[in-house]
Amino acid sequence: MRCIIIDDEPLALELLADNIKQVPRLQLVASCRSAAQAMQVLHAEPVDLVFCDIQMPGISGLQFVKSLAQKPMVIFITAYHEFAVDGFELDVVDYLLKPVPLERFLKACNKALHLHDIENKPAAIAPEPSRDHLFVYADYNLIRINHGEITYIEGLKDYVKLHRNGIAKPVLSRITIKALEEQLPAHQFFRTHKSYIVNLGYVQSVRKGRIKLEDAEVPYTDNYREVISRMTGKTI
């Protein structure tokens, strides 16, 4: 985290700088003697955390924080406890009283680091929506075919024929039936034969060795009997 110090006392700046060196994840960007100087730094580069005194000549620490349109996290460090309520009303990370023990300083830093991690946690990646289609090469074109229109698929060595509902001419594509099967939703398409995949939505009936679809009939073999049972929910 990139941080700056604001305090009009040189000794206080040195002590804070030494303390910040004890926190591996903190990078001190600048030590500022006034709020005006700190504003210049904030306009010039990104800052995640500000360690700020309250009682300073000119613009006080409270006035400085109130003036910020985009406020980094703030930890007030002051000799005056009476400003604590004002500080927390500004939603600061912590309020430390001088002289600040190193243990108390580290506690405040850890709180700021924890808040920073929460705010910068990568958003969960939304799962990719389930596709309802695939693309295949055919006739020198990349053709989109919706899953729902495929009635069955017929394998021919290194080619497949994709038969579609209501369309007489199948799509012939150079791809193995195994490779195509891997692109299809397993709950909808079932391999019933080494050369056939059927769309469950078009299955009308099943009898020994044959599956009747709406406009075709395809075979199944004993090797795929378990698949047929899973597809129909019945023992074949």
The fraction of the chain above a pLDDT of 70, given in percent, is 95
Encode the chain in three state secondary structure. CEEEEECCCHHHHHHHHHHHCCCCCCEEEEEECCHHHHHHHHHHCCCCEEEECCCCCCCCHHHHHHHCCCCCEEEEEECCHHHHHHHHHCCCCEEEECCCCHHHHHHHHHHHHHHHHHHCCCCCCCCCCCCCEEEEEECCEEEEEEHHHEEEEEEECCEEEEEECCEEEEEEECCCHHHHHCCCCCCCEEEEECCEEEEHHHEEEEECCEEEECCCEEECCHHHHHHHHHHHCCCC
Q: Which architecture does CATH list for 2-119?
A: 3-Layer(aba) Sandwich (3.40)
pLDDT digits (tens, 9 = 90+) for 6-39: 999 999 999 999 999 999 999 999 999 999 999 9
Q: Domain boundaries in the chain?
A: 2-119, 133-232
* pLDDT confidence band for 236 (50 / 70 / 90): low
pLDDT digits (tens, 9 = 90+) for 130-176: 689 999 998 878 899 999 999 999 999 889 999 999 999 999 999 99
pLDDT digits (tens, 9 = 90+) for 179-203: 999 999 989 999 999 999 999 999 9
- pLDDT of 123 reads 54
Instruction: List the CATH code of the domain at 133-232.
Output: 2.40.50.1020
Q: Which residue has the higher pLDDT, 91 or 127?
A: 91
- pLDDT of 84 reads 75
